[in-house]
Every structure is written in C-alpha cells, then in structure tokens.
Chains A and B, each alone.
Chain A
Amino acid sequence: MRILATYNLKGGVGKTATAVNLAWLAASEGARVLVWDMDPQGAASFYFRTRPKVKGGSKALLRGKHDLDELVVGTEYDNLDLLPADFSYRHMDAHLKDRNRPVKQMLRLLRPLSENYDYVFLDCAPSISVVSETVFKVADALLIPLIPTTLSLRTFYQILDFLERKKLRHVELLPFFSMVDRRKKLHNQIIEELPAKWPRMLHTKVPYASEIEKMGVNRAAVGDYARSTPSAVAYRALWNEVKMRLGLV
C-alpha cells in the first residue's frame, strides 16, 4: 500500500481536485483506492457526494474506537472508497497531540487498510500542524500543487524549510504546477524559473480550466465526464509521472 498525500500550506491550489482525479485514475487501472478526506471543509467528500460525517468524530477515530475500515464508504466508482471528512477534524490537531507518539497512532490506524487498498490518498487541510507533520512522516510521497504565483512559491519554500528543520527527508516531494494560465506573463515566468532551481519538480502542468471547476457541479472526477479534455489529459500525465517517480511503472 502506498500512501500519497496532497498537501499545500496554501488553500485553493487544487489539492482536492488532484486527490480525487488521481484516485479515480488509479482505480481505473485496477487499483483499490481509498481517499481519506482530512480537511474539515470536506471538499473531497462533497465531490464524492458523501455527507462529511464520521461517527464519533476525530476524537473517537484517533482513539481507535472504530477501525478506519468500519468508517469507509463506497463512492460512485468501483474500487474507489472514501473515508469522509468530519467538521470535528478542525480539532484533529489537539486530539492527535493528546496521543502519545502521534505517528505511531496514525500508522496503527492506516496499517490494517493495507490488505484492502493499493493506494491511500490523504487529502490534507491547508496548515502546518501536528496532523500535517504526522502525514509527512507516514506518507510515501507529498503531492504539492503550486499555482505559479509569488505567494504560492513563498508557501512552497516555507514547506521546504519546515521539512528541513524537522529533518523530514524520507518523504518524496512531488511539487507540480497547478491552475496554470498560460495567458499570464507571471505564470509563464515562474514556470520557467522554478524548475531551474528545483529540477526534481514534476513536468506536468495542470491548466486552469472550467472542466476542473465543474467538478463541483458534476460531483465526479474530470476523467469521468470530460475524458478527452486537456485537464483530463493533464491529470493522466501527472499520474503517470507520479508512478514513474515512485518506481511503480
């Protein structure tokens, strides 16, 4: 089982769209996939038409009162399941802090899933917290969508600083450009500059596109309702690149 987290300190950069679309692509290739919507805003749950509610909330969940497996629900797609969000996840940080050794606790929750799933996507909330720090420790890779803007770059460097300070070097960092608008001069400039400084960046650029925005209307993965559009093609390319980087192809 591979654990892939979609993360950025900044909100509105396309984390959830990435988690949902890559999870859908993985499932369409024969993988059994779980998306854990860790963001109390519950956007991934919304896309999967599921009420953001978890029995007992994050406290019960982290106490191990229920196995994660019991809380999982199916989605519109075969082999793609969801662990929904819950509004109480906003206190997850405090609940995780209460536990001794949060990483161990998180792994204890995730480990039993390995028999049922090939991939777990963790769709994280936009913050730096005990939760995100724990995610950095348990995930195999961090998918970091970056809008090519100055502010977005700033948060990326903040993430890198944080990982360096905490000596979190094992996790594979997979930043990529998201919501790219080629008509904007600044976008083009940053797309040129950043890979020169950070050559391990993924090459795929997910465009800013109305098909992606329509995910909220269709409540489905882009590839499901707009299969041949540039956005669907970009997510497919992104997924192939991720698999390549993780040695899965």
Chain B
Amino acid sequence: MANETLQFLIPARTPVESLKSELLQEFALADVGESQRRRLFYDTFDWRLFRHSLTLEEEQTDHGRRLVMRDLDSGAVQRWVDNVEMPRLARELSRGPFRERLLELTAMRALLPVAELRSHTYQLRLRDKEEKTVARIELELAALNGDARVRRLPKRFQVLPVRGHPEHTRQLTDFAAGKLALPPATSSLLEDALAAIGQQPAGYSNKPAVQLDPAEPAQHAIRRILASQLKIIEINVPGTCQYVDTEHLHDLRVAVRRTRSLLGQFRKVLPEAETAPFRQEFAWLGTITGPCRDLDVHLLDFDSYQARLKPSMQPALEPVRRYLVRQHSTEQRRLREWLASPRFRALLANWQKFIDTPDDGPPEASRPVRELADAKIRAQYQTVLKRGRSIGNKTADAKLHKLRIHTKKLRYLTELFRELYPDKQITRFVTSLKRLQQNLGEFHDYCIQIDALGAIADDMAQKKLAGAETMKAIKTLTGKLEKSKRQARRQYAEIFSSFDEAKNRKKARQLFHGKNN
C-alpha cells in the first residue's frame, strides 16, 4: 500500500462535478457532501516534520477545529486531536499520545505557520453491505490564502484507504488512473502550496553540507564554509530577538563557535592581520549571547530538576523557576539591544566583505583543502587522545573541561569538512566522538548547574526571594546533581578507552591518512 499512488491531479479544465458523476455511475458511493476547510500548515524553523515526511495542520471546518498529523505523500491521517488550537510548543498541549509524538518530533522547537489554504472538498465514501466505509474519496479544490491574490493549486483526487480493505482502494485508484486517466500527483499538497509562495521546504539546516572539492584551494573552501556559518548566524537573528524558541540562539551560538574555531585553526590560510579583529569580535558575540543561553538551558532542564526531587518537595522549587524567567527576560532585552547595535551590524557586514574578498598571500592559502583538513583533524585528534589519556580518577575537573573543548573543536572540524570523506566512515567516527562528547558534556553541565544553583541560592537569599523550603529544595537538588556528576566522572574511563581502542585509531588513521597514532 505504501508505494501505491493515492493522489491524482485533476486537469484544470475537467469540472469536478462531472468527475463526481462518473464516479457515482461506476461505484455505489455515498455522497457525504461538500465542506469548506481552512487548513493552516505548521512546521518548525528547521522543518522537522517535513523531514519525517509528515505534515501538521490546524484544520477548521463548520464542525469545529482539529489538529491533524498526516503522512506527507499519501495524506493519510497519522494522528488527530479534536477541539484543540495549535500551541506554540508541543509541550504546551495537554498530556496524551498526540503531545508525546509531537514532542518527540519537534522537541523544544516552536511550531510556525508555513502555509494557509482554503479548500472546498467533495467527499465520497465507498461502503460495503454493512454500510461500513471501506474507502474514501476526496476531491479537493484548494487555494492559497494570505494575500490579496487568490492562487489556486492543482485540483486533487485523493483516495483514503481504510485498513483491512485494500481491494476497494485498488478499485478506486485503478479507476482514477484508467478510466478517468488522471495523472498521479508527483508532489504533496503542502509542497505545491510552498512552491506557489516561493518557499523551499527543508530550506534550513543548522548543519549545512558545503560541497567541497578535495583539490580546491584551502582558502576558497574555508571562505565558503565560513559563509555558510554566517548565513546561519544571520538567519537566526530575528528568531533570537523575538525569542521564537531557544534553538535560534543555540544555532547562532554554534555557528559563532564554529567560525571562531576555524579562525583559530586556519591562521595560515586566512590573512592573520585581517582576521585578528574578527576573532576578537566573534569572542565578544560569544560572550554577549552566553547569559541568555545559560538561562535557556536552566529553564529547559527545569522539569528534570524538579523530577529529581520527591513530589512533595517539587513545588518548593517553583520560586527558582520564576527567578530564572525574570532573569531571562532581563538578559533577553539586553541581548536584543546588542543584536540591534551598530557594533553587531558592522561585524556581520565587515565579515561578509572579508569572506567575499580572497587573498592568496598566506602560506597555506592555496594548499588543497583535503590535505589541510587531514592535517588539522589528525593534529586535533592527537591532542584529544593525548589529553584524554592523561586523565585519571584524581585529575582536576578543569582538565576534563579542557578536553571537552578539544573534542568540540575536533567535532567542528569533522562536521565542517565531512563532505571530503566517505559518508559511512566519517559518520562512524563522529558517532564514537559524540559518545565521548556526551559524557564530557554531561559532566560539564552538572558542574555548571551546581555552580549556578549556588549563585542563584545566594542571590535569592539576599533578595529575600526564597523561603526555607526553597533553600532546602535547592540544597537537595545540588546534592543529587553532585551524585550524577560523580557518576559521569566514573563513566569517563570506560567511554574514553572505547574511543581510544586500537581498531578505532586504525580506522581514524585510514580515514585521515595519518601515519602515526
């Protein structure tokens, strides 16, 4: 059934009424009637639903409103929920399977409207002797809504199967393709709608694949990669300023870190005198975006903080949430001002100009990018191995943090240059690196959370924002986080030694053409 064509296009000149008559002559169909629908499609900024071949829409008819999750290609309903308005975030829905599925797909990303259609639909049902519907037909005339000009989309003939009755579905699709000679729809309704408004679905990814030629001069390749990161920064500024969701700022910061990492690692590829001020300015950008991100992380983690406490103690933590929200609002206002400042605008404009103006002067500028990427990844890999091996049970926490930074740099390098390597091998390498990074990241998060909770408790006590119960809850939570931190630390040895296994080193050596490990 999955590969069967269920959607057909109705030629513009074919009246739907005549098609309906032909169907009614051929089959004993129940004419359910006509309905007007307003279909408002939603997805996340990074098209998480579309990437899973799903659509999410708020559907409004005379009978009411419902949220519907459909299969993108077949239009079959996957899940629906009655009488509910589209929330901003999946977690704002009432608890239940619809929320859980949507949360699983979209996590902390906001649901944004992507297209709005008004459609007139003729509904027919094929019924058996028990008067049971065994297949449905919808003839849909949809038009884009949203501006003064009405843009009609191709008319659609859709067969909606009912489970357990494939023969009836086949009868209808055979009739559509044979007698009615309708061409199959090659794109979904949503894709048609997006094409009509000039939108590209899945047009944004925080991991853009920059096509690289291994022999390309390093400078050109790196400038192109830097350009892709600049695009990520720019595209996420409005969402960050409006606080659409936490991930705009996150993606912006990751792009800044990747940029800084490249600037630091490729000093002989880009003209040092010109890049030095940019290094400083991107460091500034990292600093001014930090407080908001830290507060975002605390707020995202807040439910898990509460879940660490016994139910009777959980409400005592609420003043902390309120404190964080207030702090966030202050920091968000400050961040918005920074991102509207002449300094920030100048940074982006000058950076764009720099990227667009190649300079063949630096010693390694014209070296083939693959060769240089190999060398840089090898060197960074060696640093991670060396530092990782030197960490024992009693090593200071600071050393683990340093190692975390080095693994991050290695991750950025492998991700930014991944197009130069065979997909399977580089994915395997990144996966093993991710495991190590996750452990170090968890350990770091616990350290940060413990410190932050200490500072929050002091500030709240000073400002008389927390009673004894709240202080006790913070203390209990800190204790639990300390325990988790120790556990993450204990797991490090096993995770690192797996990363450092001889067979993994051999694979890395082959992948990055190194000789000595």
Contacts and interface: CB of A to CB of B under 8 A. Distances in A.
Interface in B380-405: none
Interface stretch (A45-53, A97-105, A184-192): A45-53
Contacts of A78: 77, 80
A31 B102 CA distance: 12
B163 A29 contact: no
Given A76-B132, A76-B133, A79-B77, A31 B97 contact: yes
Contacts, number: 62
A195 interface: no
A73 B163 contact: yes
A76 B77 CA distance: 13
Interface string A73-109: 1111011010000000000000000000000000000
A151 interface: no
A51 B80 CA distance: 26
A51 B129 CA distance: 9
B56 to A, nearest CB: 11
Contacts of B99: 30
Interface residues of A, number: 22
B96 A49 contact: no
B164 interface: yes
Contact of A51 (B82, B130, B133): B130
B81 A28 contact: yes
A29 B97 contact: yes
Given A79-B77, A79-B79, A79-B80, A249 B94 contact: yes
Interface centre among B80, B97, B130 (most CB of A within 10 A): B97
A30 B130 CA distance: 27
B424 interface: no
A101 B101 CA distance: 35
Interface in B148-175: 161-165
Given A29-B96, A29-B98, A73 B164 contact: yes
A205 interface: no
Contacts of A50: 130, 132
Place the interface of chain B in its size category: 20 to 34
Nearest to A248: B95
B145 to A, nearest CB: 24
A49 B97 contact: no
Contact of A30 (B96, B132, B162, B165): B96
Contacts of B130: 49-51
Contact of A31 (B67, B98, B132, B133): B98
A29 B165 contact: no
Contacts of A245: none
B131 interface: yes
Pick the most buried of B94, B130, B161: most chain A CB atoms within 10 A of its CB.
B130
A219 interface: yes
Nearest to A28: B82
Nearest to A249: B95
A74 B96 contact: no
A241 interface: no
Interface in B486-502: none
A30 B80 contact: yes
A31 B165 contact: no
Contacts of B78: 79
B509 to A, nearest CB: 41
A94 to B, nearest CB: 27
B101 A30 contact: yes
A172 interface: no
B2 to A, nearest CB: 15
A78 B164 CA distance: 13
B164 A72 contact: yes
A55 to B, nearest CB: 11
A248 B132 contact: no
Interface of A: 27-32, 48-51, 72-76, 78-79, 81, 118, 219, 248-249
10 contacts: A28-B82, A29-B94, A29-B98, A30-B96, A30-B98, A31-B97, A32-B79, A50-B132, A73-B165, A74-B162
Interface of B: 67, 77-82, 94-99, 101, 130-133, 161-165
Given A48-B132, A72-B163, 4 more contacts: A30-B99, A31-B97, A72-B164, A75-B162
| 5 A-B pairs closest in CB distance | A30-B98, A73-B164, A74-B163, A49-B132, A30-B81
